[in-house]
Chain A
Amino acid sequence: MSMFTQAGIVLATMLAVYVAARLFRLSTELGMLAAAIGGALVGGFGLPARHIAEGAATYLDINLIFVTATLFMNLLKESGGVAFVVRAILQRFHRSRVLMLVLLTILLLVPGALTGAGSVTVLVTGSLVAVVLHYMGIPKHKAAALVFVNACLSAAAPPVSLWAMMTAAGVNMPYVGFFWPLLLPCLAAGLLTSFILGWKGERTDAIKALAELPVPPAGMNWLRVLLPFAVFFGLVWMGRQFPHSTPIIGLPMMFAAAAFASYLLSPVRLEFFRISRETIDQLLPLLATLTVAGILVQIMTLTGARGLLAVTAVTLPVAVVYATLFLVLPASEAVLMWGAAPVIGVPLVLLFNARGLDPIVALAGMSLIWPLGDALPPTAIIGRLTVEIVGFKGAYGRFLRACLVPAIVIIVIGTLMVIYSKKLGFLTGL
C-alpha cells in the first residue's frame, strides 16, 4: 500500500470518527481525542500512550500563559479596575461618539491581546462595554457582533496570538517579527468594525449607563489599574534590556507577577482562591482544546495524515489557496478551534514560504481570519458566549448577519496581507 493510500485512509477515519463523535454529542475536545485514537488504531500504531502524553504536553507553555494572563485579567475585573476604566471613559467622553467608539475598541482589544483568548475579552470587558453600547442606542444584536468581532481581533492581536504561535512552532519559525503585522491590521479592523456597527445610534445616555454599570470600590484609581500592567511590561523590558543579567522567568511568571500586583493593589480584599478556581473553570474548555489539539497533531504526524495535508497544500496552485482562504480558515477553526493552526496553518505557511512570500506577514494575515470561525457551528463557543454575555435573546442567525460586513472587511484585509506579504515584509522589522 502506498504512503498516500495509507495516510488517506487514516485521515478519512479521523474525519469519520470526529463526525460520529459529534453526532453522539461528545464535546469538540472529546471528538478530537476520539479522532486521534481512531487514526492511531487504523494507522497500525495501537494505543500509543507515549505519543498521546507527548502530544498533550505540546502546548503546555501556552496553556500556562493562558491561565496566568486570564487570572491577571480576572483579578483586575474583580478589584473593580475594569469598571473604573469603563466608567471613566463614559464620564469623560460620552459627548463624542468617535472617541467613545475608539476607546471602547481599545478596551475590547487589550484582554484578548494579552491572553490570546477572545473569550477573556468577552468575559472581562465585553459585558461592561455592552452596557455602554446599549446606552449609545446600538441594538443588542449589533452590540453582540461588535463585541464578538473585536474579541476575535483581540485574540489575533499581539503579544499573544495563539494561531501565529502554534503555526510558527510547527514550521520551526521563531515567533519574532509578528508584533506590527498583527497589531496594525487588528487595530484598523477593530476600529472599522466598531464604526460600521456602532456609528448609527442615539446620543449616549451617560446617566442611565452609569447607573447600570457596577460602581468600583472607593479608592480605585488609575495608579491601581495601570501599575500591574507596568509590572508586566517592565519585566518584559528588563528581559530585553538586560538579557544577560536578568533571571529568565518566562511569560507565565510575568503574567503571574502582574496578577499578584493587581491583587495587592486592589482596594478591596479579593478572594484569591475563589477567583483562581473560577478562572480555571472558565478556561477549562480552552485548555482542553489546546491539550487535545496537541494530541491530534502528534497522531496526525505519526500516521502521515499531517504530511498528506501538508504535501497536498504545498503542491496546490497558490491562486486556489488565496481564493479559498476565506472559507478554509474559519471553517477549520469552527471544527478544530486552535487545532486548525498546526493542522491547516503549517502546510499553508510552507506553501507561502516555498512560493517566495513573507511567511510572517502571510501568517499574520491568516491569524486575522481564523478567529472568525469562533462564531460558526459546530463549536461556536465564543459566538454563543458573546450573545449570552451581551444579553441578546433573538435568533443566533441575526447575530451572525450583523457580523457579516465586518467579517468581510477582515477577510479582505487578511487575504491581501497574504497576497502582498512580501511587499509588507518591512512590517516585521527583520
Chain B
Amino acid sequence: MTTRLLAQKIVVAALGLALFVSAGISFHRSRNLAEPVVLGPGVTSVKKLGEYFAAIRGTVNDCNLYFMEGREPGGTMLVLGGSHAEEPAGRLAAWLFVENGTVEKGRVIVALSANRSASTMTRLGGAYPPDFTIDTPSGPRMFRMGDRWTNPLDQWPDPEVFIHYPSGQELAYVDIRNLNRTWPGRPNGTFTEKTAFAFMEMIRREKVDVAIDLHEAELQYPVISTIVTHQRGQELATMVSMMLTDNEDFKIGTEFSPLTLHGLSHREIGDHSPAISLLFEAPEPFLDATRGITSREQLLTGKDEFVVKAGRHGLLFEEIDEKGWPIAVRVGRHTSSILQVAETWSEDNPAKPLAISGVPRYAEVIEKGVGAFLQDVTKAGKDRLAYE
C-alpha cells in the first residue's frame, strides 16, 4: 500500500469515526431523553403497563399509566397517546390531561407513550428532528420526536409478510412493528404484539368503558379530521361529532371502523373487550410526502407552501392555507374531542358518569398555546414528578 493511499484511508477512517461518534451521541440522547411529567391534581396513582403482563415488565415499553380516580364512582375512560410517536399532538393532548385534569366522577387512565420504543428513534430516510420544544411560562420543555414503528433495536428482523393475529389478514411486513396494526396482540408474539396484549389485559382488568387512541394524519390520507369508531360506538361518536361541529370552531367527521380491516385499535379493542373503541385523527402536514423543509418549525406550525400547492390541485383530503395547522390547533381538537366524549358518554350512561375538569378545550388551547398548560417542573415536588 502506498503512503498516499494509506493517508487517504486514515483520513476517511477518521471522518467516519467522527461521524459515528457525533451521530451516536445524538441517537443516544434521543433514546434516553427523559421527559418530565408534572402530576396534576387529578393524578391519584402511576402504574406500569408491566403490572398487567409480566413479559413487558422492565422493557422499554413498560410505560407509565396515569390513573385519575374521581371522587365519585362512574365509568372508566382510557386515553392513549403515542401509539404513533411521530404524531406529537396525540401525546401532548394526553399530557394536558395528566398535568391539568381533575376527575370528579369516574376514572381516566392515560398513557403518554403507548409505544415508548417508537418514541426513541426517528424514521430512517424521513429526516425528522430528534426532538422538539414547547415554550411554557416557566421555560422550554423538550419532547422526543418519534417514529410510527417500534425501534428495530427492540424488535428485529421483520418477517417477509406480516400476518395479523388472530385474523390471519396479510399486512405490510414493517407493520409488525406498528402498535396500531398489532391489536389485540398475543402473549407469545413479537414485542409490539406483547405490548398490545398488555394494553388489552389492562383494558379488560380495569373494566375500561371507552378507549380513545389519539393520532394525526397526513393531509393526503383520506381518514383525517375524523373519529373512527367501532360499531358499538357509532351513536356516541356521531353525537360527539355533531356537538363539536355545532359548539366549537372546528369540523370533525365520523367514520365506522371497517369490519374486515384488522389490527387497528378502533376494531380490535372493541372486538376483544367490552370497551367502546374510538380513534381520533387530526391533520399533520409534517407527515405529507410533498412536504417542504423538514424541521421543528414545520412540525409545530404545520405551515408548508408545498402542501398548500398540493391542496390547490385538489390532492388533499383536508384544507390547508398559509396559516398551516399549528400544534395548538391539533392538540385543542383532541382535548375538546376527549372532553366531549366524556360529556356525551355521561348523558347516555348516567349510571357510569365521567366528569372531568381543568383540561383546556380547543379555543383555550389556541388562545393561550399548549405551553400555557404545561406545569412548572421546578415547582413540582419529587413525589409529583414522573418521567416518560
Contacts and interface: CB of A to CB of B under 8 A. Distances in A.
B289 A350 contact: yes
Interface string B10-36: 000000001110111011000000000
Instruction: Sort A-B residue pairs by CB-CB distance and give the 9 closest, nearest first.
Output: A174-B172, A250-B157, A53-B23, A302-B127, A243-B163, A49-B22, A304-B292, A304-B293, A301-B127
A428 to B, nearest CB: 12
Interface string B125-136: 111001000000
B306 interface: yes
A307 B290 contact: yes
Nearest to B221: A172
Contacts of B307: 311
Contacts of B256: none
Contact of B294 (A61, A301, A346): A301
A225 B20 CA distance: 42
A282 interface: no
B385 interface: no
12 contacts: A3-B304, A7-B292, A7-B306, A54-B127, A240-B163, A294-B124, A298-B126, A301-B294, A307-B292, A311-B290, A347-B289, A350-B289
Classify the secondary structure of B's interface with A: loop
Contact of B172 (A55, A61, A175): A175
Interface stretch (A104-112, A191-199, A251-259, A265-273): A251-259
Given A58-B124, A301-B127, A174 B19 contact: no
A308 B186 contact: no
A258 B30 CA distance: 38
Given A171-B289, A240-B163, A350 B125 contact: no
Given A43-B293, A301-B294, A310-B290, A176 B172 contact: yes
Nearest to B175: A174
Given A301-B125, A304-B294, A61 B22 contact: no
Interface stretch (B65-73, B308-316, B365-373, B376-384): B308-316
A251 B168 CA distance: 20
Contact of A58 (B125, B305, B306, B315): B125
Interface residues of A, number: 54
B305 A4 contact: yes
B127 A299 contact: yes
B157 A308 contact: no
Contacts of B175: 174
A346 to B, nearest CB: 6
B165 interface: yes
Given A58-B125, A307-B293, 7 more contacts: A50-B23, A61-B157, A174-B174, A240-B163, A252-B157, A298-B125, A307-B291
Contacts of B22: 49-50
Instruction: Specify which of B27, B126, B186, B289 lies most central, judged by the most chain A CB atoms within 10 Å of its CB.
Output: B289
Contacts of A342: 125
Contacts of A2: 305
A294 B310 CA distance: 25
A356 to B, nearest CB: 11
Given A249-B157, A307-B306, A301 B126 contact: yes
Given A239-B159, A307-B290, A308-B292, A350 B220 contact: yes
Interface string A290-314: 0000100111011110011011001
A422 interface: no
B173 interface: yes
A6 interface: yes
A230 interface: no
Interface residues of B, number: 48
B160 interface: yes
Contacts of B51: none
Interface in A285-344: 294, 297-299, 301-304, 307-308, 310-311, 314-315, 342
Contacts of A58: 124-125
A51 B290 contact: no
A354 B220 contact: yes
Given A58-B124, A248-B157, A314-B310, A170 B163 contact: no
Nearest to B309: A311
A57 interface: yes
Contacts of A169: 125, 174
Contacts of A26: none
Contacts of A274: none
Contact of B306 (A52, A236, A252, A304): A304
Nearest to A174: B172
B293 A250 contact: no
Given A6-B293, A244-B165, A311 B127 contact: no
A31 to B, nearest CB: 16
B124 A55 contact: yes
Contacts of B313: 314-315
A54 B290 contact: no
B54 interface: no
A54 B30 CA distance: 13
A175 B292 contact: no
A55 B292 contact: no
Nearest to A52: B19
Contacts of A311: 290, 306-307, 309-310
B158 interface: yes
B189 interface: yes
